[in-house]
Amino acid sequence: MKSAFRKISRVGSLTGGTKWYLSDDCLLAARRMMYAVEYRRFYLRDLEYIMVWPSRLWLWRLVILEVLFLVLAAVFWQRVNFTAGAIVGGVGLAWAAKELALGPAAVARIRTTGAIVDLPLVARTRRARKVLATIDGAVRAARGEVEQPTAPETSAQPAEPFAQTNSETPSGTASIRDATQTNGS
């Protein structure tokens, strides 16, 4: 029997992580913390927005850990030998290159009709576009929206030139006056 849910994303952490599943009518987050699993269900018809942005701490984490690797490499170079320092420094530089290649870490916020939830949707921002496109397609299908045509339809009626009916009042002041009268001012 095939499951109705399909996995669309996984974000790992030291104590567990979050797996995201998508079905025809909902988005499910399974957040694992050690031995417990917490489930959050977001109905697609209630989703207002999902926002993903780069983490501000990503660059600081990169810089601080790289400095620690380089200090450790210098200590090994001075105390042990050149080879040990070069290995530790090489590992540090390889790690920094990998982090830069993967791009910034991501932070996500999901807003539904009744709640705002901050859960990690993707680990890196470069993957966010693909996951959000998948969720967007499911939301459109759940709400019954059809794809809008990309080219605007042309009107069958020819454009009529603007004719000012009252020569005493310009068109801009008439609309402002009407707006102030409807506001009660």
* Whether pLDDT at 11 is above 70: yes
Identify the three-state secondary structure at position 82: helix
State pTM to two decimals: 0.63
100-106's contacts with Cβ under 8 Å and 24+ in sequence apart are: 100/62, 102/126, 104/54, 104/55, 104/58, 104/59, 105/54, 105/55, 105/57, 105/58, 105/61, 106/52, 106/53, 106/54, 106/55
Both 14 and 49 in one domain: the answer is: yes
Identify whether 176 is part of a domain.
Answer: no
Both 17 and 78 in one domain: the answer is: no
Give the model confidence (pLDDT) of 85-144 as tens digits.
888 889 999 988 998 888 898 989 999 888 898 888 998 988 889 999 999 999 988 888
**Alpha helices for the chain (secondary structure H):** 57-79, 82-102, 128-143, 171-182
User: Percent of the chain beyond pLDDT 90?
Assistant: 21
Structurally, the chain folds into a number of domains equal to 2
**For 175, which DSSP code?**
H
Range of the domain at 97: 57-102
Token reading at 165: 């009916």
Both 77 and 47 in one domain: the answer is: no
Both 74 and 46 in one domain: the answer is: no
Within a 13 Å sphere around the CA of 63, how many CA atoms are in the beta-carbon half?
5
- Asked if 120 contacts 131 with a C-beta cutoff of 8 angstroms, the reply is no
Name the β-bridge partners of 116.
Answer: 111
- Residues 178, 65: Cα–Cα separation, whole Å: 63
Pairing of strands 116-117, 106-112: antiparallel
* Whether pLDDT at 27 is above 60: yes
Both 50 and 137 in one domain: the answer is: yes
- Residues 160, 101: Cα–Cα separation, whole Å: 57
Closest Cα to residue 136, out of 52, 11, 57?
52
Identify whether 185 is part of a domain.
Answer: no
Band (pLDDT 50/70/90 cuts) for residue 21 is very high
Closest Cα to residue 92, out of 61, 70, 63?
70
Both 95 and 127 in one domain: the answer is: no
